[in-house]
């Protein structure tokens, strides 16, 4: 048989092998299985003893691969620049080595550990159509005992080109499947998260309460809640977890569960926030934290107590003169440091027409297309303009203002949450120096309006009433130095 005939047969055999490799790779869409297929076929076609395919991780500047380990596989990684394969990745130039032990880049540790003897090595970079590094392909020990020649280099380069196409396709498929899986998981998480938020407003005598929340991602870190206590008081809660997405949603869910657990045994706001902060410090990552505002409203007397962990100021619109009271933060955000104190802010009274507005910073920090913030003044103006409306309408107006400001061309960059509580009941006009005792603590309130110490409007007489005729509430446990009061129509 002539040399020409032998050469032609070899070319035909190699061409058939490339076609077979392409077919095998076309049927493998899962990356790990594809890597094993490429390595197995490369070893066969190149008539080598062993082959390796290392992929480049641009995020860590490492090469990685999967090797057989028992019934499964094990991932190995090493930095670019280490060993022969690492040097080929660094320089972008191939290496054809007759004796690995004469090359200072060769790491003999594997041979010593396994008993294998590496002789000839052919290692080439594989790149995509744009010249970007995809990985390194390597064959060891030609079966005939010779070193790899120029023809072998051309053949391995052709195999690498076929491998690049298959790898890119597998990565696209893998990314698509992962995206679909994440979207499905986020939908489930979103449904769970929305189920944790109130789906209706509480019914509280003399008060109109409404809330709204929307996440800027599939899941968010904003939170609001209503917690009705056994004695008729109600807790109004709003919070904002740092960041967005699934991690923030998990932090929010943890905070909600912990808060409701703590509220079963205590209504002491400083103690509740102290314990909640410690729980979040123990359970969540160091990077996450949560601003948090909680108020307890007593509908029997209109008192509002609150504590705030680094949250935006709560706002009370005063119907009597159109002014605003700001309920400032009393401590650091939750989850930042253990054993922090969260004292109560000054107690206040909700009078008829007064409105409590709680928001997260996604409202007043909303930005238009020119990156200008909505700001507090515009939000307060909208609140005052609709101060005669229901809580639901006020909430809707603040929401609409936020998204009108962002505009159709803008981007919602943060979750938006709003809670509104409006006092509807007529009140006692004035009372001097009342001492309220709650959980052993004394709160002195001078010249405050109290809500509904007696039924007003249905009385057939405007005469002076004795304090002894009033129905005392659970929170107003003791009233001293109070003789009589005049009821105003």
Q: Say whether both 54 and 117 belong to one domain.
A: yes
- Which residue range is the domain that position 68 belongs to? 3-172
Asked whether residue 155 is assigned to any structural domain, the reply reads yes
* Rounded mean pLDDT, 244-260: 83
| HSE-CB of 181 using CA atoms within 13 angstroms | 6
Residues 119, 373: Cα–Cα separation, whole Å: 67
pLDDT in tens, 375-384: 999 999 999 9
The residue assigned the tokens 């209109």 is 302
Beta strands in 200-342 (DSSP E): 207-214, 222-228, 234-241, 290-297, 303-309, 314-318, 323-327
pLDDT tens profile 216-226: 776 677 889 99
> Domain check: are 106 and 238 in the same one?
no
* 234, 347: one domain: yes
* 98 lies in the same domain as 213: no
For the chain, what is the domain count? Answer: 2
Alpha helices in 54-205 (DSSP H): 83-91, 109-114, 150-196
Q: Name residue, tokens 């995206």.
A: 179
What angle do the packed helices 3-26 and 31-45 form, to 10 degrees? 170
Residue at which a domain ends, from 391, 423, 455: 423
Q: How far is CA 204 from CA 235, 298, 387, in A?
A: 11, 10, 19
pLDDT-derived band at 396 (thresholds 50, 70, 90) equals very high
What does R_g of the chain's alpha carbons equal in angstroms?
36
pLDDT at residue 235, rounded to an integer: 96
Res. 250 pLDDT band, cuts 50 70 90: confident
Same domain for 219 and 325, yes or no, is: yes
Q: What is the CATH number of the domain that holds 58?
A: 3.30.450.40
Residue 467 maps to a domain: no
Amino acid 440: pLDDT? 36
Do 285 and 409 lie in one domain? The reply is: yes
Domain boundary among 423, 449, 484: 423
Sign, CA torsion 374/375/381/383: positive
Residue 437 lies in a domain: no
Mean pLDDT, to the nearest integer, of 110-138? 90
| Residue given tokens 């052919």 in the structure block | 122
- For residue 448, is it within any domain? no
What pLDDT digit, counting tens, does each position of 284-340 carry?
766 789 999 999 999 999 999 999 999 999 999 999 999 999 999 999 999 999 999
Could you tell me which residue, 86 or 17, shows the higher pLDDT? 86
Q: State residue 458's pLDDT score.
A: 39
Q: What is the CATH number of the domain that holds 207?
A: 3.60.40.10
Is residue 280 included in any domain, yes or no?
yes
Beta bridge partners, 303, equal 349
Distance CA 164, CA 129 (A): 9
Answer whether 189's CB lies under 8 Å from 218's CB: yes
Residues 165 and 230 in one domain: no
Query: Per residue in 343-374, pLDDT tens?
Result: 999 999 999 999 999 999 999 999 988 889 99
Residue 183 within any structural domain of the chain: no
Question: Domain for residue 82, yes or no?
Answer: yes
The verdict on 244 and 97 lying in the same domain is no
Same domain, residue pair 281 and 381: yes
Are residues 131 and 67 located together in one domain of the fold? yes
- pLDDT tens digits, 28-70: 666 777 777 788 888 888 889 999 889 999 999 999 887 654 5
What pLDDT is attached to residue 451?
Answer: 36
Could you tell me if 164 and 202 lie in one domain?
A: no
Q: Is residue 31, in this structure, part of any structural domain at all?
A: yes
| 348: β partners | 304
Query: In the listed set 139, 172, 205, which residue is the last one of a domain according to the structure?
Result: 172
Question: In angstroms, rounded to a whole number, what is the distance separating the alpha carbons of residues 290 and 317?
Answer: 26
Looking at the structure, do residues 168 and 197 belong to the same domain, yes or no? no
Tell me which of 197 and 394 has the higher pLDDT. Answer: 394
* Mean pLDDT of all residues in 443-451: 35
Position with higher pLDDT, 170 vs 240: 240
Question: How confident is residue 137, by pLDDT bands cut at 50, 70 and 90?
Answer: very high
């Amino acid at each position: 048989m002539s040399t020409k005939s032998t050469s032609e047969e070899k070319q035909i055999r190699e061409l058939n092998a490339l076609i077979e490799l392409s077919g095998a790779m076309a049927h493998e869409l899962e990356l790990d299985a594809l890597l094993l297929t490429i390595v197995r076929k490369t070893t066969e076609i190149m008539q080598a003893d062993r082959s390796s395919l290392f992929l480049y991780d641009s995020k860590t500047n490492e090469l990685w691969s999967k090797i057989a380990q028992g019934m499964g596989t094990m991932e190995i990684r090493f930095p670019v620049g280490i060993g022969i394969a690492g040097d080929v990745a660094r320089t972008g130039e191939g290496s054809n080595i007759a004796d690995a032990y004469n090359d200072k880049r060769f790491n003999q540790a594997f041979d010593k550990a396994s008993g294998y003897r590496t002789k000839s090595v052919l290692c080439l970079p594989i790149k995509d159509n744009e010249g970007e590094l995809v990985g390194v392909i390597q064959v060891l020990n030609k079966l005939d005992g010779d070193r790899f020649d120029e023809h072998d280099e051309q053949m391995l380069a052709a195999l690498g080109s076929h491998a690049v196409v298959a790898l890119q396709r597998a990565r696209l498929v893998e990314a698509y499947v992962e995206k679909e899986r994440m979207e499905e998981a986020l939908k489930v998480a979103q449904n769970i998260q929305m189920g944790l938020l109130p789906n209706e407003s509480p019914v509280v005598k003399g008060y109109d309460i409404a809330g709204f929340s929307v996440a800027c991602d599939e899941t968010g870190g904003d939170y609001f809640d209503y917690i009705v206590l056994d004695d008729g008081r109600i807790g109004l809660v709003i919070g904002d977890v740092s960041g967005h997405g699934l991690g923030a949603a998990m932090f929010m869910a943890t905070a909600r569960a912990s808060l409701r657990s703590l509220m079963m045994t205590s209504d002491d706001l400083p103690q509740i926030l102290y314990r909640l902060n410690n729980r979040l410090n123990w359970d969540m990552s160091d990077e996450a934290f949560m601003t948090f505002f909680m108020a307890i409203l007593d509908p029997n007397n209109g008192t509002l107590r609150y504590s705030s962990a680094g949250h935006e100021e709560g706002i009370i619109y005063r119907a009597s003169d159109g002014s605003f009271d700001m309920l400032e933060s009393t401590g650091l955000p939750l989850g930042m440091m253990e054993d922090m104190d969260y004292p109560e802010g000054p107690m206040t009274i909700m009078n008829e027409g007064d409105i409590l507005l709680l928001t997260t910073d996604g409202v007043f920090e909303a930005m238009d297309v020119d990156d200008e913030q909505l700001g507090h003044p515009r939000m307060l103006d909208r609140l005052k303009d609709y101060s005669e409306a229901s809580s639901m309408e006020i909430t809707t107006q603040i929401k609409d203002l936020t998204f009108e400001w962002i505009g159709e061309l803008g981007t919602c960059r943060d979750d938006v949450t709003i809670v509104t509580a409006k006092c509807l009941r007529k009140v006692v006009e004035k009372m001097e120096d009342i001492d309220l005792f709650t959980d052993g603590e004394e709160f002195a309130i001078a010249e405050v309006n109290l809500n509904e110490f007696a039924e007003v409007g249905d009385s057939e007489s405007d005469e002076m009433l004795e304090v002894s005729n009033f129905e005392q509430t659970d929170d107003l446990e003791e009233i001293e130095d109070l003789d009589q009061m005049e009821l105003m129509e």
